[in-house]
Structure 1
Amino acid sequence: MDKEQPLLEHLTELRRRIFWVLGVLVVGVVIGLIFAKRVILFLKSVPPADKIAWHVFSPWDALRLYMNFGMVVALLITLPVALYHIWAFVSPGLEKAEQRASILYIPGAVVLFLAGLAFGYFVVFPMAFFFTTAISHSMGITELYGAAQYFSFMFNIILPLSALFELPIVVMFLTKLRILNPLRLAKMRRYAYMVLVILSTVITPPDAISAILVSVPMILLYEFSVFLSRIIYRKQLVQDAAWEAEYGDQEEPDEQSEQAVK
């Protein structure tokens, strides 16, 4: 019974935090729906949407457009709250120094998500839009854009990029949990590059320049993640050495560990 009680307490706490996140998500959707019209009209007034006419092809398109914006705004509002509750749930198992360090992941994750949104909207989305438009013109096709389809096309580009920009935070967190380390990331570099190039090719127009413009920042983001992992791993080695010196036989770090901290 004593062993079951902590598990029940953890499950109760997890359920409470999930309810908090879902509640914030609902509030975010409401806020998004309130401001959706203003945001849509603003985006309609800036390139590339300012030069095209929007249409709806079914009575549900306008409602779907509102709901899409409501969900995106709710995602932006819920992200820091969800990250905080994840941190609060796992923080009792961390030391005080680790708690202070890990809570800094929350603003970092939000900033990186917004950076991904900006990169997707201002760089990748215009390239993809103008590329598809150029194909239509070359075939003598007159574009007739649906408002809901236009924004679905935009969200399908910028939201995956925003998720990819969370890579440094994910790598730092997994390194902190000792699941990843810079040695393992270095061995995975070749495959990571290949995956990032493939993803860049999928979400961009099928030409070399667009793929390069997206894949290069993705690769730099991966290398930045390796750099951050190396910093955390170096501190872990120092802490392990201090613990060994105080509580056990001090062992010399192996050759791989020495290479990782260089």
Structure 2
Amino acid sequence: MNLLEHLEELRIRLVVVGLSFLIIFMVFIAISPLAAQLLSKSTGIDFVTLHPAEAVIAYVRLALFLAVLAVMPIALYHLYLFIAPALRRAELRAALITLPFSVVMFYAGVLFGYAVIVRLGLPFLAMLSTRA
């Protein structure tokens, strides 16, 4: 493969990941009010908006965050498909073992962040802001 063929392959992979992100983002933008309610109930904190557009901006940010979380395995898979032709047999085997493990560890980190940072840190920060 020459350089232009590699760039075309990269472009196709990036378009697939980008379209996947857009589709997933549209789904999450539709359910972001429900996701915000679930987040509010799980932390026990009522979210307050001070400007009319602030609620919409918060829903869009939440949908973007959730879309990034959901599209990460797709992006890693297409990264693997892009680099797989350049790898030797032992490297392919290592990549096939590493790819699912990295997805599992990514979501384990997300769950840890939610359990520790959001569920413990957010109420603490809310308590500090109500004292002032």
Q: TM-score range by the shorter chain?
A: 0.7 to 0.9
Counterpart selection for 1:7 from 3, 7, 15: 3
Change (3 A) 1:39 1:133: closer
RMSD of aligned alpha carbons? 2.0
Give, as a single letter, the amino acid of the residue that structure 2 aligns with 1:13.
E
SS in 2 for 1:54: coil
Report Cα offsets for 1:151-174 as digits up to 9, x if no partner.
Answer: xxxxxxxxxxxxxxxxxxxxxxxx
Q: CA deviation at 1:87?
A: 1.0
Indicate the residue corresponding to 1:94 in structure 2.
87
Change (3 A) 1:31 1:133: closer
Report Cα offsets for 1:21-75 as digits up to 9, x if no partner.
Answer: 111110110111122122211122223xx2x332211122111122112112211
**Structure 1 unpaired stretches of 5+:** 142-262
Q: CA deviation at 1:94?
A: 0.9
1:45 to 2:41 alignment: yes
Indicate the residue corresponding to 2:47 in structure 1.
54
Q: CA deviation at 1:114?
A: 1.2
Give, as a single letter, the amino acid of the residue that structure 2 aligns with 1:74.
A
1:30 to 2:23 alignment: no
SS in 2 for 1:46: helix
Q: CA deviation at 1:10?
A: 0.5
SS in 2 for 1:122: helix
- Identity between Structure 1 and Structure 2 (%): 31
SS in 2 for 1:104: helix
Report Cα offsets for 1:163-207 as digits up to 9, x if no partner.
Answer: xxxxxxxxxxxxxxxxxxxxxxxxxxxxxxxxxxxxxxxxxxxxx
Report which of the two has the higher share of helix.
Answer: 2
Higher relative contact order (CA 8 A, sep 6+): 2
* Residues in 2 aligned to 1:46 and 1:96: alpha-carbon distance in whole angstroms: 47
SS in 2 for 1:118: helix
* Residues in 1 aligned to 2:4 and 2:53: alpha-carbon distance in whole angstroms: 44
SS in 1 for 2:50: coil
Number of residues paired by the alignment?
A: 132
Give, as a single letter, the amino acid of the residue that structure 2 aligns with 1:10.
H
Q: CA deviation at 1:93?
A: 1.1
> Please, what TM-score do these two structures have when normalized by structure 2?
0.86
